[in-house]
Chains A and B, each alone.
Chain A
C-alpha cells in the first residue's frame, strides 16, 4: 500500500473513532437496538428516535436506532439478523409484515435476546414470535375508547370517513367506534378516496342525505383536513361532534378553534421510550409488566394543546 493510501486510512480511522465511540458509552453496558420499517424520509419516526435517546440517557444504557434506508422490508429482515448477531441485550422492533419478519425475530428470541414488538403488529403475532410484549395502539380498542367517550358526550349516530378503505387494520377504528357507541356500524363508513376535493364533496353529500347524523369521525389528516373544509362550507363547523385519529397541523388548529372535539394520538414517544425502560429493568432486576401496553389512544383536546404545540415533532 502506498503512503498516500496509508495516510487516507489512518485519517479515516482517526476521524471515525470518536464518532463511533459516541454511541458506546454506558455504565452497565446494556445495549438495546430499535429496528423500524420506516424509510429515512419518514419524519413521523423522529419522535421515536428522540424517545429511545431520552430513555437511553435516563436509564444509562446504550441505544441504537436502525432502519432500512428505502423502507424495503427484506432489508429490514437483514438488519434484524445483523442486530441479533451483534449480541445486544434486547431488540425492539416493529412487525410490519409477519411473513418477512417473523423468521428473523424468532431466531433472535431463540438466541436468547429479549424482544419487544412496538407500533405495528398484534398481540397474537407477538405471542407467535416469542416476544415479551407489544407496545402500541390496538386500533379496535382505540376506536372503542373513542366511541365510549363520544357516547358520554351524547352522540347517537356517526359517519366514519375512511380514506384507506383497503387497509383492514385502519377500518377496525370505525368498527371499534361503533361498538363503543353501542350501535351497528352498518353503512356509517364511507369510502372517501384519497383526493381532497372528492373527500370534501362526499362528506357534504353524505351529511346532506343524512341530516340526523350527530358526529363525524376521520381516520387521519388525509381525511380530516378536507372534512374541516366541508363542515365550514355547510356551516356545521363547531355544531357537529367531530373527532379524528392522528394529529397534524390543521387538526391542531381545528381543535384550537373548537371545530374538532378531540384528536387521538397514538403517542409514538411511549412506543420507543417504554420498551427501553422495560427491557433495562427486566435485565437488571427481572421485573416485567404482565401484559401488553397500549401507548394510545391519547386524547388531545383544547385543554392540553399547549404541550402538544410545544413538543410537536420532538416528543409528540
Chain B
C-alpha cells in the first residue's frame, strides 16, 4: 500500500480524532471513574472512622499494594491471552521455600531469596511451556498447579519441621542487604519529622513512645509502584508490548506477522510467577514467618483487580495502570468496609456488590466513550 494514502479515502486507521477524545479513549478511564465513586462512597460512610488518618491510609495502601503486585503480572498475562490460577499457591510455596532454605538449611538470606526466585520463575516457565506444548487451556494447566504447589508447600513444611508455620526468619534476615530490599521501609526520616511537628499521631506509651504511628513507606508499596511503572512502559512503549497485545488479540494472525507468540506467552507466565514471589518475599520479610496456608484465593483477587481495571478476560485489551487502579479500588473497598463498620456476616455481600458496580461502571463508560459494542 502506498504511504501517500490520504484520510479523505476514509481509512479508519488514519482517521484523526480530537485530543480530548484521544485522552478519554483509554482502558484506565473506567478505573479512574471507579476510584472517584469508591472514595466518594467511603467519605460519606466512614469519614470519621480513622480511615483517612495516617495509619488508616497506610493500612489500605498496603493492602492495595499487595493486590497491585500480583495484578501487574496477571494483567500482562491476561492481555497476552492466558490465565494463571496458581498465583496464590505460588505465594505460599515461595514463602515456605525461603523459610526452609534460610532457617532450616542455614543459607544466608540473600542466597535463599535469589534461589527462591530462580525456582519459582522456573516453575512459571514450566506452566507456560505446558500450556504451549499441550495446547490445553491455561485455566486447566494452572489449576493443576494450584493443587500441586499447595500440596508441595504443605509437604515440604511438614517434612522439614513437622509444623505448617516456619518462624525465625527475622533473625536470619537481620542485617541482610537483600532482605532489606523487601522488608525494609523508606522515608523514615520524613515520617519522624512529620510526627515531631504533629502531622501524624505518635505512640502514646511503650518503648516506641514519641515515634510516629506510621514510621515509613514499606518496600512493599515501592515494589508495587515500580512493577506498575515497569509493566506500563513495557506494554505501551516497547515492541515487546505490541507483541503482548498481538498474542492475546489473535495468536494465529500474530504468528503470521512474525510475532514469537510462544516466547511472549512463556515469558509472561514467568513474569506472573516473579510477581507472586515478590509478594511472598515481602510478606515473609515483614512478618518473619512463612505459613503453608498463605496466599489462599489470591489468584482470584489478582484477576478481579485486573478486570475492574478494564482488561478483557478474552485477552488483547487492557492496561497496567487500569489494573493498578483496580487493585486500589479492591483494597480500598475491602479495608474501607471494616472502617465503615459493616456487619461482619454481610461483609462479602457489600464487597461483591461494590465490585460489581465498579465493573459495570467501567464497562458502561468505556462503551459510551469508545463507541465499542
Residues of A bordering B, CB below 8 Å: 1-2, 4-5, 8-9, 12-13, 16-17, 19-20, 22-24, 40, 49, 64-67, 69-74, 77-79, 81-87, 97-100, 103, 106-107, 109-112, 130, 166
Within the complex, the shortest CB–CB distance from A144 to chain B, in Å, comes to 25
Closest B residue by C-beta to A70: B296
- Enumerate chain B residues within 8 angstroms of A78, measured Cβ to Cβ: 59, 62-63, 335
**Interface SS, B side:** helix
Indicate whether B23 reaches chain A with its CB closer than 8 angstroms: no
Indicate whether B56 reaches chain A with its CB closer than 8 angstroms: yes
Would you list 21 pairs from A and B whose C-beta atoms are within 8 A, ordered by A residue? A2-B365, A12-B41, A13-B44, A13-B45, A20-B45, A20-B340, A20-B341, A64-B341, A66-B338, A72-B296, A82-B60, A84-B55, A85-B56, A87-B53, A97-B165, A97-B167, A100-B291, A109-B205, A109-B206, A112-B203, A166-B158
B201 and A111 form a contact (CB under 8 A): yes
B206 and A110 form a contact (CB under 8 A): yes
A12 and B357 form a contact (CB under 8 A): yes
- Enumerate chain A residues within 8 angstroms of B343, measured Cβ to Cβ: 19, 22-23
Complex Cα–Cα for A99 and B33 (A): 40
Closest A residue by C-beta to B283: A74
Indicate whether B242 reaches chain A with its CB closer than 8 angstroms: no
Indicate whether B162 reaches chain A with its CB closer than 8 angstroms: yes
Closest A residue by C-beta to B63: A78
B339 and A5 form a contact (CB under 8 A): no
A8 and B357 form a contact (CB under 8 A): yes
Indicate whether B288 reaches chain A with its CB closer than 8 angstroms: yes
Closest A residue by C-beta to B287: A100
A72 and B294 form a contact (CB under 8 A): yes
A107 and B213 form a contact (CB under 8 A): yes
Indicate whether B230 reaches chain A with its CB closer than 8 angstroms: no
Q: Which of chain B's residues 116-160 have a Cβ closer than 8 Å to chain A?
A: 158
A12 and B354 form a contact (CB under 8 A): yes
Name B41's contact: one of A9, A19, A111 (CB within 8 Å).
Answer: A9
Complex Cα–Cα for A13 and B342 (A): 13
Closest B residue by C-beta to A17: B45
The CB with the most chain B CB atoms within 10 A, among A17, A49, A77, A111, is that of A111
Complex Cα–Cα for A78 and B203 (A): 18
Contact with A along B337-368 (1 / 0, CB 8 A): 01111111011101001100100110011001
Within the complex, the shortest CB–CB distance from B270 to chain A, in Å, comes to 25
Within the complex, the shortest CB–CB distance from A208 to chain B, in Å, comes to 29
Within the complex, the shortest CB–CB distance from B46 to chain A, in Å, comes to 9
Indicate whether B114 reaches chain A with its CB closer than 8 angstroms: no
Closest A residue by C-beta to B92: A72
- Enumerate chain B residues within 8 angstroms of A107, measured Cβ to Cβ: 203, 208, 213
Q: A4-B364, A107-B213 are in contact. List 19 more A-B contacts (CB 8 A).
A: A9-B40, A12-B354, A16-B45, A22-B343, A49-B344, A66-B338, A73-B165, A73-B287, A81-B55, A81-B62, A82-B60, A83-B338, A85-B58, A87-B50, A100-B287, A110-B203, A110-B206, A111-B55, A112-B205
Indicate whether B262 reaches chain A with its CB closer than 8 angstroms: no
* A100-B204 CB under 8 A given contacts A9-B40, A12-B357, A86-B338: no
Complex Cα–Cα for A40 and B349 (A): 13
- Enumerate chain A residues within 8 angstroms of B339, measured Cβ to Cβ: 82, 85-86
Complex Cα–Cα for A237 and B162 (A): 34
- Enumerate chain B residues within 8 angstroms of A97, measured Cβ to Cβ: 165, 167, 289, 291
Q: Which of chain B's residues 284-298 have a Cβ closer than 8 Å to chain A?
A: 287-289, 291, 293-297
